Each structure stands twice: as structure tokens, then as C-alpha cells.
Structure 1
Amino acid sequence: MEMRRTKVALYFVAIFCFCTSANGMLSPKGVNFEVQALMGIKASLVDPHGVLENWDADAVDPCSWTMVTCSTESLVIGLGTPSQNLSGTLSPSIGNLTNLQIVLLQNNNITGPIPSELGKLSKLQTLDLSNNFFTEEIPSSLGHLRSLQYLRLNNNSLSGAFPMSLANMTQLVFLDLSFNNLSGPVPRFPAKTFNIVGNPLICATGSEQECYGTTTLMPISMPLNSTQTALPSVRPKNHKIALAFGSSIGCICLLHHWIWADSLVEAKTQSADILRC
């Protein structure tokens, strides 16, 4: 009897594990965290051409959405909406897309500050916010992006001191902060290619030669551009939940088999005892 209680307890533990694994990807309201983050981005942007029209708050995951690229594990790793005439602001919810490797929002009309939450994207390798109307200071939190290789913030309306934290970006290969209104001093940063021309408080007229290293652009690490949308995922949208469901159900069935087998053994033992009597 004691063994049966133990097995029953394990049975309910398996059910709890299933619920936990299935809900681990979801918010308390049952919404995928990445869907929630992307919908926050959509809500803060003005989209005159409807390029984000198929972004759906009720979706299981966003891997079939335009301008979104996912990994084989159905994680959002790329966000690219360049040259789409987007305006509005960039939502801080972008910081919740913690698997992002590339962000391409260049050649739009986005205003407001650059969200400091971008500094949470530890896997980010490419960030291009150039040719927009971003204002205020460059957030020092960008210095936390130790994997970043390509950074373009040029042709905006950024002001304030040159962020000293950029010196911490040891993987940075290309940096373009040209044509803003930044002020000095300028730290020694590791980028092999850099351009800070067009910041009058840093690069006075006549000293431009010292304000750039080379004009050769580094290649983008993911094929997102103004005419190409992200490829839809070839896996079912509910891939993760199905995987969690399948593995958990397998455990439940196994435990159910153990309980059933133990019941048979116990019944046989009781029958044998009766026969002995």
C-alpha cells in the first residue's frame, strides 16, 4: 500500500512537470514571451505600408511573421524592417527578445531615445539603427554587448557625451556614429573600422581626417534587407509545446504502467495469501 501511494505521488509529479514545461515558454497570461515583446514593438511603431500586418497577438510563436527570423529551436534571432517608412518609437520590449543576433531598422523615420534595454541582448552581433531620427544620448548599456561586431547609429539626432562604455565591446569590428551631435572625449575603442565624422563637437572642420579609419563596410551576418522578408519556420508553430507535451505524456504513461504493474503484483500476492489460508 505504501508503495502504491509513492507511485501515485510520482504520477502527480509528472503531471506537474508537464504543466511546468509547457508553460515555461509562456507569460502568466498564456502568451509566448517573444510574441508579447514583438507586439510591444509593433504597438509603438507607425506602419504606413502594413509590413507588420501579420504580427498577431494570438499567435503561438512568431516564426512565420514577416521581418522576423527564427532559429531551428523557434527562437527569434533576427528582426529586420529596413526602409519601410516606419515612424513612432522603438519599444523597450525589444530587450525581452534575449536571443536576438541581428537588428536592422535602418532607413526609417523612428524617433525618440534608443532603448537602454538593448544592452540586455547579450547575443547581439549586428545593430543598425542608422538614418532615423533617434534623439538623446547613446545608452551606456550598449557597452554590455560583448558579442556585438557591427554597430551603425549614424545619421540620427543623437547628442550627449560619447559613451565611454563602447571601449568594452571587444568584438566590435565596425562602428559608425557619424553625423550626430555627440561630444567628447572619445575613448580608445577596438573597432577596426570606425567613422565619427559629422559630430562638430568632436570633429571640428579641418580635422575630419582623424575621425574615421576606413570606409569599407563589414558584411551583414544575416540576409535581411528592404525587399526580403524572413523565411517562415518549416516546423509547426507549436513545436516546443508539442515536444514538451510528448515527453511529459511519455513520463506519465510510464508511471501509470508502473502503478498498474504494482497493483497486479499486490493483487496476486493477496490471492496467494488467501489460497494458503
Structure 2
Amino acid sequence: MITCSPDGTLAALGAPNEALSGKLSRAIANLTNLQTMLLQNNNISGEIPLEISSLSNQQTVDLFNNGFSGGVPSSLGHLKSLQYLRLNNNSLSGPIPASLANMSQLIFLDLSYNNLSGPMPRLPATTVNIMGNPLICGSEDAKWCSGQAIPVPVSSSVSSSPGKRCNILWLLWLGLIKVKSQLQLQWFY
């Protein structure tokens, strides 16, 4: 699902379950009107680019079940419009940034099954899941680990002109998704 806004800018990027691999490029910052990013269940690896925090219109980020490593970027706290953040089932490590408490619109946060540590910041989200993080779930913050969060169905509320779609090839030109093999290029045609 690639959706453009009426002015032709990319508003929604959805490519779940497409076996995409490579790294998410820092050029993601060029998508200034992006509201929805659904890249779950792929093989995207590397660190989550800090530039993702410059996407101030972002409402939904779903990077569940990839190979992201490194820490949860503290700059995500700048995303004041973000309502849904799913980073579970990756290889993220380090503390959960206290800056996530600044995301005043956050409703759903899933950081489960990573290797996160440290104290749990006070978060505005009504649903939080950090199960499967042994360095948190074995501590005083274990109360956050007792329940299973039920994922809220994600749907894009992006308004777009009827039938207006972006050409996914320009995402390749931007370098948003680096493709490693010819077989993966078949998805783009």
C-alpha cells in the first residue's frame, strides 16, 4: 500500500510481509508528510534511523518482527502526533528512553520481545507491552510484564484522492529500502 496525499506527497507506506531486506535509509526524513509506516514482518535490519523522528505528521509506525538492532531512538519522543508504535520482536537493546513520555497522543506501545533494560518511564499510552525483555521483566517494573497486550488493528486514516497511488520505484530512488537481490526487485514491478 503506497498512498499519496492530494498534493502528490507520500502519506502512507505499507509493505508488510513482503520479505524486504536491507536497512531503512536515513532518507526516510525526506517523506515529510508521511503519516503511516507499516513495514512489519520483513527482514529489515540495522538501527532505526534517528531521522524517523523528523516525520512530525507520523501517526502509526509498525516495524514489528524485523531485525532492527541498537537502541530505541530517544528522538522518537519528538513525534507528538504518534498514536501507535510497534517495535516488538526485533533485537533492540538498552534503556527505554524517558523521552517517549513526551508522545502525548500515544495510545498503543509494544516493545515486547527485545532486550531492553532499565526503568520503565511513565507513558501516556493506554496499552503498553514490554513482555519478553528479561532485563525489565525481572525487576521492579515487572508489573508491566504481567499482561498480554492485544494488538489494535491498524488502518490508515490517510486522506487521498480516489485512485491516486505513488509509484513505488521512486522509493528505490530515494534509497528508503535497499534491495539486496534481483528476486526482491520483483515485488516493485
What TM-score bracket applies, with the shorter chain setting the length?
A: 0.7 to 0.9
Question: Quick one: distance in 1 between partners of 2:72 and 2:107?
Answer: 18
- Residue aligning to 1:163: 97
Q: Secondary structure at the match of 1:202?
A: helix
**1:60-118 CA distances to partner (integer Å, 9 max, x unpaired)?**
xxxxxxx3111122121000111001111100101110100000000001110000000
| RMSD (Å), alpha carbons | 2.4
Q: Secondary structure of the residue that 1:78 maps to in structure 2?
A: strand
Matching residue of 1:188: 122
Q: Deviations over 1:222-257 (max 9, x none)?
A: 189xxxxxx8418xxxxxxxxxxxxxxxxxxxxxxx
Q: Deviations over 1:13-43 (max 9, x none)?
A: xxxxxxxxxxxxxxxxxxxxxxxxxxxxxxx
C-alpha contact 2:89 2:114 (8 A) present in aligned 1: yes
Q: 1:48 maps to what in 2? A: none
1:124 paired residue among 58, 63, 85: 58
Segments of 5+ residues of structure 1 without an aligned counterpart are 1-66, 225-230, 235-277
Structure of higher CA gyration radius: 1
Q: For residues 169 and 99 of structure 1, what CA distance do their matches in structure 2 show?
A: 18
Q: Given the alignment, which residue of 233, 251, 255 partners 2:164?
A: 233
Query: Which runs of structure 2 are paired with 1:96-115 in the superposition (5 Å)?
Result: 96-115=30-49
Normalising to structure 2: TM-score of the pair? 0.79
Task: Pick closer, same or farther for the CA change 1:212–1:148 going to 2, 3 Å.
Answer: farther
Q: CA deviation at 1:185?
A: 1.2
When residues 212 and 163 of structure 1 are mapped into structure 2, their CA distance, relative to the original with a 3 A threshold, is farther
Per the alignment, residue 136 of structure 2 pairs with 202
Structure 1 counterpart of 2:85, one-letter code: L
Alignment check: 8 A CA contact 1:137 1:160 kept: yes
Aligned mates of 2:114, 2:57 — CA distance in 1:
27
In the alignment, the residues of structure 1 paired with residue 95 and residue 87 of structure 2 have an alpha-carbon distance, to the nearest angstrom, of 14
More displaced stretch, 210-219 vs 192-201 = 210-219
Q: Give the 5 Å matches for 1:16-55.
A: none
Q: Which residue of 1 aligns with 2:83?
A: 149
Structure of greater relative contact order (alpha carbons < 8 Å, 6+ residues apart): 2
Q: Percent identity?
A: 60
Deviation at 1:214, TM superposition (A): 5.8
Secondary structure, aligned partner of 1:194: strand
- What's the CA shift for 1:137? 0.6
Q: In 1, are the aligned partners of 2:129 and 2:144 still within 8 Å (CA)?
A: no
Q: Higher helix proportion, which one?
A: 1
Please state which structure has a larger fraction of its residues in strand.
2
- Picking from 169, 172, 178, the partner of 2:112 is 178
- Code of the residue aligned with 2:164 in structure 1: it is S
Normalised TM-score (structure 1): 0.55
The one-letter amino acid paired with 2:153 is P
Residue ranges of structure 2 left out of the alignment (5+ in a row):
166-189
Which amino acid counterpart does residue 3 of structure 2 have in structure 1?
A: T
